[in-house]
Amino acid sequence: MADTAKKHAADVVRCLRRSYPDAKCSLDFHTPLELLVATVLSAQCTDIRVNLVTPNLFRKYRSAADYARAPSADLEKDIQSTGFFRSKAKSIQNCCRLLAEQYHGQVPRNIDQLVELPGIGRKTANVILGTAFGIASGVVVDTHVTRLARRLGLSRQKDAEKIEKDLMEVVPSQEWVAFSHRMIQHGRKVCAARKPKCDACPFREICPKLGVEPVD
Ligand code: SF4
């Protein structure tokens, strides 16, 4: 990896740290299992909506076994407002069945074991490990990180796993967890998919704005 790419990434990391010193996961949770469930629910849904649904859900289902043995129709109803509720309920139940049977109901702290769970991909596994356990297993690449990595010139790839690989090469591992949270926050607040606020952006001097259409 060229030194210039690492230097550019270091500038981005520094600017992110300055702009979003306290950025953290915006999903509410108390345990790794709750974060796992909330992360599954957050697919194609805002974190705000997920946070409206989870207080009752977490009161009702306290363990992996509770999810696993619940009638599917009940769980579907409980998570309906997050959208795609049938497939989300199925993922949660299949995943929790395996957690109950093979891991004594605990969420494993290992990326290889996590990605083997039904419905859990690398993105969700990185969220759980980084946010619930403080383990830097990789960089969370969601829709915001995908967009920003490309605009900021940190990756030219389109595939999330390839983008993550590029980011892991230029961002120091001790930064991975905070870097993901900060990039997501910047994507939400400033570098939106449509009409990014480049003029007011703290990155404007160092960002190549790749793929950003000039505003008339
Ligand atoms: S300068 Fe524009 S494209 Fe670059 S990070 Fe800021 S808002 Fe996004």
Q: Whose CA is nearest to atom 8 of ligand 1?
A: 191
Task: State the average pLDDT over residues 75-95.
Answer: 97
Confidence of residue 56 (pLDDT cuts 50, 70, 90): very high
Is the pLDDT confidence value at 134 over 70? yes
Q: Check pLDDT > 70 for residue 176.
A: yes
Can you say whether residue 171 is alpha, beta or left, with left for phi > 0 and alpha for psi between -120 and 50 degrees? beta
CA-wise closest residue to 119 among 144, 94, 141: 94
Residue 181: DSSP 8-state: H
**According to the model, what pLDDT value does residue 214 have?**
72
In the prediction, which pLDDT does 216 show? Answer: 56
Which member of 11, 24, 90, 142 is catalytic?
142
123 given a catalytic annotation:
yes
b/e map 11-41, b = 16+ CB within 10 Å: ebbebbeebbeebebbbebeebbbbbbbbbb
Whole-number mean pLDDT of the chain?
95
Q: Annotated catalytic, 142? A: yes
How many C-beta atoms surround the C-beta of residue 191 within 10 A?
22
The string of pLDDT tens digits covering residues 204-215 is 999 999 999 876
Main-chain dihedrals φ then ψ at residue 206, nearest 5 degrees: -115, -5
Residue 213 is predicted with a pLDDT of: 81
Which token pair is 93?
Answer: 């139940």
- Nearest 5°: CA angle at 116, between 53 and 180? 60
pLDDT band at 2 (very low <50, low <70, confident <90, very high): confident
Span 20-44, pLDDT tens digits? 999 999 999 999 999 999 999 999 9
Instruction: Note the pTM of the prediction, 2 decimals.
Output: 0.91
CA–centroid distance, 139 to ligand 1, in Å, is: 20
What pLDDT does 43 receive? 92
What is residue 1's predicted lDDT score, i.e. its pLDDT?
Answer: 58
Candidate list 60, 123, 189, 195, residue with the active-site label: 123
In the 8-state DSSP scheme, what is residue 131? I
Tokens linked to 99: 């957690």
Residue 144 CA to ligand 1 center (angstroms) comes to: 12
Provide the pLDDT for residue 174: 96
Residues with CB under 6 A from ligand 1: 151-152, 190-191, 196-198, 201, 203-204, 207, 209, 212
* Interval 71-98 mean pLDDT: 97
How far apart, in whole angstroms, are the C-alpha atoms of residue 146 and residue 57?
30
CB 75 within 8 A of CB 67: yes
Does residue 168 register a pLDDT over 90?
yes
